[in-house]
């Protein structure tokens, strides 16, 4: 049912105008652009379709398009669980209980790490190389990435001819598509090659116009192939054994597809050549306009759903210049640049995580290194989760799905680890995983942290909270239930208090306070409480087993409550060990403030204690640690400090192409900041006293963000908001209810509105 009013129509027309504006031309908030080619990888511009990622350098006489495929990893199917480890568990626990931490660490290092102790690395795939003889000293050079179309382009003028290259990664056709065009017929001449950094790989020309790159990774594991079809219009083509030279063409299109022998984490019998042939064979028409039409329809449907616009004063300048000016000026981030950073985060998620692909890893899908930092894996003690923080609120629910597929694999391997290393039922994942769905502790003592699976389950529950999709909940429930079973089997009573704790476990912050291994760090307890509560609710919704429900309730009641320490801070551990002003990059014990939702103003004492700890943590350090502080401060109600963290992230931890830096490139900060900005504009994690969803509009708008508009921001219980504000005042708010649930809106001026909705109903709530 639609509740139309005049003002609603005005609001809708405004929202439609915003959408149309975003569709037709990329404004400064949806475009990165530069006046020179990329001199380094961190200046190149990313495109991706989840499966394939590519970085366009925009060179003039030489162009490099470095590409990746999401399944090209070192290694082979492997069970990392350490045989016999369970026998040492009682002794490790006993040493921890007695406070003999160094001995516990030593024993765990010797007996409780996976085999081998390091996981496998994500690999670069190859490079498309183009050479344009005589292309020197161009005029009017411009390189840009249009987030609204997903097209990276390079253009320049030479001897009166405008040369243009457009690159996109098509999800519907699973291909990279590059078109070279020129303003005058017959003026395109170039040499085309394709190679790979992997020793022993081979390029050869087949069937006249296809360059075929094939190889096998250095550990003898996965095999790979990429096929590059070169399709000139006009001109002449000369072929050598491994390259093509084109002379005087009107236009040239290149289409690249790539595949490996990976089928799933237990099966690597795929045939990459057949796979490439199959992908190419499925493309309905190898014509640029037809490929482009399908790509644009797919990309725009996702991207235009939710766009943030805020006016700034550096909008028309090249992106690197905007960065330079902002860095020089210090202080607040230009709001226009902040909205570009938000939209870019959503763009990057669309480009690195699509149904059927691997989830976004530490570098999304973009990596040029044979030995990437932290193997470019999925780190589960903050990083991979942060990648998915913007998925639901940012209206990209389907981009969340690859994470759920990853979890399905982790359930299988995690059961083995639970059984072999803990003698437990259920499934467990520690602080990292790779393509082979590793679940055992790795690296060092910091790997002995058993709650990665609980954190991942939070994403299943969040997906349900936002979508209300019961079909999905039926799929997710058994996964959550088995995650609970692991904890039901492995929690141990604290000898002093009797509370049930994880042991052994690890808290990144604790290594600074006392030794390493520990029992029941606060984040573990928060994660388990959230898992149990969500599983209980899911069980009730699906009318599940009442006995299991009872068991969960009983065990949940034995978990420690939030403890407030002697400085009034939220305690990070069972013991009151916190050091005031420990500005550690991790914010583990604040998990329940964000992304969890157990700490809210409804419990003023714990909320105040959490804020105390948050203020101790101060400013971030790595990109992701700035990023985490944004939603945390937004939930603490301080938009100005949240904005400050965003400003510092962009000023200190951002490459010229706006990729986030941990130290090296690591994409989590991009995603975390995007989610953080959303949290400054809309929050929906609370319920009012009557159980109805409580939604705060503009709860943490910082003073410098005077004017802005955002469409399609999502709230839990299926609400979608279009908001506008001016001079810091909310001037328009329209909501669409997908599920027909009631909600209570908390407006920035303190007013409360109670709303009944029906599925599909539209409501203009402000003005
Ligand atoms: C976590 C962090 C590091 C880094 C790594 C990939 O363990 O503590 O800073 O982000 O993951």
Residue 411, both tokens: 């359930």
Name the percent of the chain lying above pLDDT 70: 96
Cα separation, 294 vs 317, whole angstroms? 31
**How many helices and strands, by DSSP H and E, does the chain display?**
19, 31
Contacting residues for 19 by C-beta, under 8 A, at least 6 apart: 304, 307, 711
Count Cα neighbours of 629 within 13 Å in the Cβ-side half-sphere.
28
Is the beta carbon of 507 within 6 A of some atom in ligand 1? Answer: no
Nearest to 710 by CA among 698, 696, 719, 718: 698
**What distance lies between CA 577 and its chain's CA centroid?**
33
Residue 120 has pLDDT above 50, yes or no: yes
10 Å CB burial of residue 90 (0-12, 13-18, 19+) is exposed
Using CA atoms, how far residue 91 sits from 87, 112, 418, 448, in Å, is: 8, 11, 18, 15
Task: Please state the three-class secondary structure of 244-288 as a single string.
Answer: EEEEEECEEEEEEEEEECCCECCECCCCHHHHHHHHHHHCCCCCH
Cα separation, 699 vs 730, whole angstroms? 11
161-170 and 202-206 as β-strands: parallel, antiparallel, unpaired? unpaired
308-310 and 161-170 as β-strands: parallel, antiparallel, unpaired? unpaired
The reported pLDDT for the residue numbered 7 is 40
**The length of the chain, given as a count of residues:** 767
Cα separation, 335 vs 588, whole angstroms? 29
Using CA atoms, how far residue 284 sits from 75, 253, 293, in Å, is: 35, 16, 12
The reported pLDDT for the residue numbered 25 is 52
The reported pLDDT for the residue numbered 513 is 54
Average pLDDT over residues 222-232: 98
User: Which mutation among 118, 374, 669 tests ligand 1's pocket best, with the greatest number of atoms within 8 A of CB?
Assistant: 374
Tell me how far the alpha carbon of residue 447 lies from the centroid of ligand 1, in angstroms: 11
Tell me how far the alpha carbon of residue 355 lies from the centroid of ligand 1, in angstroms: 26
Is the beta carbon of 379 within 6 A of some atom in ligand 1? Answer: yes
User: Which mutation among 362, 379, 451, 669 tests ligand 1's pocket best, with the greatest number of atoms within 8 A of CB?
Assistant: 379
Cα separation, 353 vs 388, whole angstroms? 9
Cα separation, 525 vs 523, whole angstroms? 5
User: Which mutation among 431, 507, 662 tests ligand 1's pocket best, with the greatest number of atoms within 8 A of CB?
Assistant: 662
Nearest to 214 by CA among 126, 123, 121: 126
Backbone φ, ψ for residue 240 (5° rounding)? -115, -175
In the sheet that holds 743-746, the strands lie side by side as 682-687, 693-697, 743-746, 752-755
Is the beta carbon of 622 within 6 A of some atom in ligand 1? Answer: yes
Tell me how far the alpha carbon of residue 749 lies from the centroid of ligand 1, in angstroms: 40
Residue 511 has pLDDT above 80, yes or no: no
Backbone φ, ψ for residue 369 (5° rounding)? -100, 140
pTM equals: 0.96
Residue 526 has pLDDT above 60, yes or no: yes
The reported pLDDT for the residue numbered 26 is 72
Tell me how far the alpha carbon of residue 512 lies from the centroid of ligand 1, in angstroms: 15
The reported pLDDT for the residue numbered 312 is 84
Average pLDDT over residues 15-42: 74
Cα separation, 194 vs 54, whole angstroms? 13
Average pLDDT, the chain: 95
Tell me how far the alpha carbon of residue 445 lies from the centroid of ligand 1, in angstroms: 14
The reported pLDDT for the residue numbered 512 is 52
Is the beta carbon of 662 within 6 A of some atom in ligand 1? Answer: yes
Nearest to 176 by CA among 34, 291, 39, 28: 291
Largest CA distance in the chain: 83
Cα separation, 59 vs 36, whole angstroms? 8
| Strand-pair partners of 726 | 729
Q: How confident is the model at residue 480 (pLDDT cuts 50, 70, 90)?
A: very high
Residue 319 host element (H or E): helix 319-329
Measured by CA distance, the residue closest to atom 3 of ligand 1 is: 662
8 A C-beta contact, residue 711 and residue 15: yes
Q: How confident is the model at residue 510 (pLDDT cuts 50, 70, 90)?
A: low
Cα separation, 524 vs 514, whole angstroms? 18
Tell me how far the alpha carbon of residue 134 lies from the centroid of ligand 1, in angstroms: 46
Using CA atoms, how far residue 727 sits from 352, 465, 493, 750, in Å, is: 36, 33, 55, 17
For 687, the 3-state DSSP assignment is strand
Residue 24 has pLDDT above 80, yes or no: no
Contacting residues for 22 by C-beta, under 8 A, at least 6 apart: 30, 148, 303, 304, 307
8 A C-beta contact, residue 170 and residue 150: no
Is the beta carbon of 387 within 6 A of some atom in ligand 1? Answer: no
Is the beta carbon of 196 within 6 A of some atom in ligand 1? Answer: no
CATH numbers and ranges of domains, the chain? 37-73+123-299 (2.70.98.50), 85-115+353-576 (1.50.10.10)
- Per-residue pLDDT tens over the stretch 86-117: 999 999 999 999 999 999 999 999 999 999 99
Name the percent of the chain lying above pLDDT 90: 91
The reported pLDDT for the residue numbered 19 is 42
Closest approach atom of ligand 1 to CA 508: 8
Cα separation, 189 vs 288, whole angstroms? 19
User: Which mutation among 367, 383, 434, 588 tests ligand 1's pocket best, with the greatest number of atoms within 8 A of CB?
Assistant: 383
10 Å CB burial of residue 332 (0-12, 13-18, 19+) is middle
Closest approach atom of ligand 1 to CA 662: 10
Backbone φ, ψ for residue 745 (5° rounding)? -100, 135
User: Burial letters for 386-405: b for 16+ Cβ neighbours within 10 Å, e otherwise?
Assistant: bbbbbbbbbbbbebbbbbbe
8 A C-beta contact, residue 674 and residue 342: yes
Please give the residue that has the higher pLDDT: either 258 or 285. Answer: 258
Residue 477, both tokens: 């429930």
Is the beta carbon of 383 within 6 A of some atom in ligand 1? Answer: yes
Cα separation, 312 vs 379, whole angstroms? 35
Helix-strand-coil split of the chain, %, nearest 5: 35, 25, 40
Cα separation, 376 vs 358, whole angstroms? 13
The reported pLDDT for the residue numbered 27 is 87
């Amino acid at each position: 049912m639609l509740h139309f009013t005049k003002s609603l129509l005005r609001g809708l027309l405004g929202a439609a105008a915003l959408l149309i504006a975003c569709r037709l031309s990329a404004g400064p908030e949806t475009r990165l652009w530069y006046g020179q080619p990329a001199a380094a990888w961190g200046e190149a511009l990313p495109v991706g379709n989840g499966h394939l990622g590519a970085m366009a350098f925009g060179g003039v006489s030489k162009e490099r398009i470095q590409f990746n495929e999401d399944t090209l990893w070192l290694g082979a199917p492997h069970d990392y669980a350490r045989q016999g480890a369970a026998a040492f568990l009682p002794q490790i626990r006993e040493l921890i209980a007695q406070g003999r931490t160094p001995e516990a660490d030593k024993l765990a290092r010797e007996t409780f790490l996976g085999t081998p102790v390091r996981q496998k690395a994500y690999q670069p795939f190859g490079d498309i190389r183009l050479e344009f003889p005589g292309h020197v000293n161009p005029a009017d050079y411009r390189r840009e990435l249009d987030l609204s179309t997903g097209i990276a382009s390079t253009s320049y003028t030479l001897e009166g001819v405008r040369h243009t290259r457009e690159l996109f990664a098509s999800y519907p056709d699973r291909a990279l598509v590059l078109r070279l065009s020129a303003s005058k017929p017959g003026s395109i001449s170039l040499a085309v090659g394709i190679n790979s950094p992997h020793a022993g790989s081979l390029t050869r020309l087949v069937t006249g116009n296809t360059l075929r790159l094939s190889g096998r990774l250095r550990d003898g594991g996965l095999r790979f192939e990429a096929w590059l079809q070169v399709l000139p219009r006009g001109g002449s083509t000369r072929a050598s054994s491994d390259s093509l030279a084109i002379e005087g063409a009107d236009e040239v299109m290149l289409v690249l597809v790539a595949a490996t022998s990976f089928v799933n984490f237990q099966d690597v019998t795929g045939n990459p050549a057949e796979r490439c042939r199959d992908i190419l064979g499925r493309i309905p028409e190898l014509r640029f306009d037809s490929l482009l039409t399908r790509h644009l329809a797919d990309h725009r449907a996702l991207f235009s759903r939710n766009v943030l616009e805020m006016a700034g004063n550096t909008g028309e300048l090249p992106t690197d210049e905007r960065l330079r000016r902002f860095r020089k000026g210090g202080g607040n981030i230009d709001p226009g640049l902040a909205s570009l950073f938000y939209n870019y985060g959503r763009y990057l998620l669309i480009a690195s995580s699509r149904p059927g692909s691997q989830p976004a890893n530490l570098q999304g899908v973009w990596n040029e290194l044979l030995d990437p930092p932290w193997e470019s894996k999925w780190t589960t003690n903050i990083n991979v989760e942060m990648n998915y923080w913007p998925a639901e609120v940012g209206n990209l629910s389907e981009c969340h799905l690859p994470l759920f597929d990853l979890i399905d694999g982790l359930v299988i391997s995690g059961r083995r680890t639970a059984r072999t290393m803990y003698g437990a039922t259920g499934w467990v994942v520690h602080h990292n995983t790779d393509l082979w769905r590793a679940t055992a502790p790795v690296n060092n003592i910091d790997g002995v942290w058993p709650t990665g699976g609980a954190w991942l389950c939070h994403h299943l529950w969040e997906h349900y909270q936002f979508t209300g999709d019961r079909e999905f909940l039926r799929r997710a429930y058994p996964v959550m239930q088995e995650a609970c079973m692991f904890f039901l089997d492995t929690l141990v009573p604290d000898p002093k208090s009797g509370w049930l704790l994880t042991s052994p476990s690890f808290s990144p912050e604790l290594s600074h306070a006392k030794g390493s291994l520990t029992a029941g760090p606060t984040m573990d307890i928060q994660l388990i409480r959230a898992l149990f509560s969500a599983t209980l609710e899911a069980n009730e919704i699906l009318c599940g087993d009442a006995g299991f429900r009872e068991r969960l309730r009983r065990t949940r009641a034995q978990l420690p409550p939030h403890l407030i320490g002697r400085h009034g801070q939220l305690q990070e551990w069972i013991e009151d060990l916190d050091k005031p002003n420990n500005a550690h990059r991790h914010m583990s014990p604040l998990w329940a403030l964000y992304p969890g939702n157990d700490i809210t103003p409804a419990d003023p004492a714990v909320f105040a204690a959490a804020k105390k700890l948050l203020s101790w943590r101060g400013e971030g350090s790595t990109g992701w640690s700035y990023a985490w502080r944004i939603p945390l401060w937004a939930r603490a109600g301080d938009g100005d400090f949240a904005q400050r963290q965003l400003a510092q992230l962009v000023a200190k931890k951002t490459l010229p192409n706006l990729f986030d830096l941990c130290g090296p490139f690591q994409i989590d900060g991009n995603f975390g900041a995007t989610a953080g900005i959303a949290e400054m504009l809309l929050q929906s994690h609370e319920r009012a006293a009557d159980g109805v969803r409580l939604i705060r509009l503009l709860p943490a708008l910082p003073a410098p963000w005077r004017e802005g508009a955002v469409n399609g921001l999502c709230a839990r219980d299926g609400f979608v908001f279009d908001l506008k504000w001016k001079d810091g005042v909310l001037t328009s708010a329209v909501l669409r209810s997908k599920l027909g649930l009631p909600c209570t809106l908390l407006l920035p001026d303190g007013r409360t509105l109670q709303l009944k909705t029906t599925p599909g109903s539209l409501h203009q709530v402000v003005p």
